[in-house]
Amino acid sequence: MARLLEAPTYPVADEVVLDPQRTAVVVVDMQNDFVKPEGKLYVPTAQEAVEPIARLLEKARAAGVLVIYTQDLHGEDDPEYRIWGEHVKAGTWGAEIVDELKPQPGDEIVTKPRYDAFYASRMEDVLRTHPQVDTLVITGTVTNICVLHTAGSAALRWYKVIVPKDAVAALSEFDQEAALHQIDFLYKGTITTVDGISFQK
């Protein structure tokens, strides 16, 4: 039986103005297996995040902001399959980033074996080659799994973390709210919306 408890609250910033030179937008795991109903690990709200992410990417690209995609990727018999079943297997349709958010030339794609995009991946190398970047706008799925671990890992490295709440998706409202609360409370991230984000000219 579910217990009733009060949802945690956190401030939502109306307006966040970012320096395009110092910002990167990170799109976490917007892959067919997570976003599409035919996917192996479908997150029903992920489709709702596609349009806000696309809108954010349009603004970011127009301002010359670095765009980094993460791509969860597993081989044969990955230990994660024991937790989640087979998903985003290398070479399958499910592992591909959704067509609506297709990476463009100049974007970085960082494949990763686990929830945290900084673990066993090229993420630190990508960020070190853009040493002026000190702020990460983190979007994608799943809010309390790969988004939260990546936001936490970024914050522990002293990146400023911005999360537009309409551009992240979780399997339940509880997971969504708890993760956003944690990003605010523990990692001192800023929760906002895609419309709240603008880039300095």
Closest contact distance (angstroms) between CB of 143 and Zn ion is 15
SS3 content of the chain, % helix, strand, coil (to 5): 35, 25, 40
Closest contact distance (angstroms) between CB of 138 and Zn ion is 17
How deeply is 22 buried, as exposed, middle or buried, from its count of CB atoms within 10 A (0-12, 13-18, 19+)? middle
* Interface with Zn ion: number of residues (CB under 5 A): 2
Closest contact distance (angstroms) between CB of 33 and Zn ion is 9
Of 35, 27, 33, 28, give the one whose Cα is nearest residue 91.
Answer: 33
CA dihedral 102, 107, 112, 115 (to 10 degrees): -80
Closest contact distance (angstroms) between CB of 200 and Zn ion is 36
Window 19 to 78, contacts with Zn ion (CB under 5 A): 72
Comparing CB distances to Zn ion, the nearer of 56 and 73 is: 73
Q: Does 166 engage in binding with Zn ion (CB under 5 A)?
A: no
Closest contact distance (angstroms) between CB of 113 and Zn ion is 8
What is the Cα–Cα distance from 70 to 31, expressed in whole angstroms?
9
Comparing CB distances to Zn ion, the nearer of 135 and 143 is: 143
Closest contact distance (angstroms) between CB of 156 and Zn ion is 21
Q: Which residue is nearest to Zn ion (CB)?
A: 72
ω into residue 110 within 30 of 0, thus cis? no
The 8-class DSSP code of residue 14 comes to S
Q: Does 80 engage in binding with Zn ion (CB under 5 A)?
A: yes
Comparing CB distances to Zn ion, the nearer of 72 and 177 is: 72
Contact 98, 162 (CB under 8 A): no
Window 102 to 121, contacts with Zn ion (CB under 5 A): none
Non-local (6+) Cβ contacts of 152 within 8 A are 116, 182, 183, 186, 187
Comparing CB distances to Zn ion, the nearer of 41 and 136 is: 41
Comparing CB distances to Zn ion, the nearer of 28 and 163 is: 28
- Which residues here bind Zn ion, judged by CB under 5 A? 72, 80
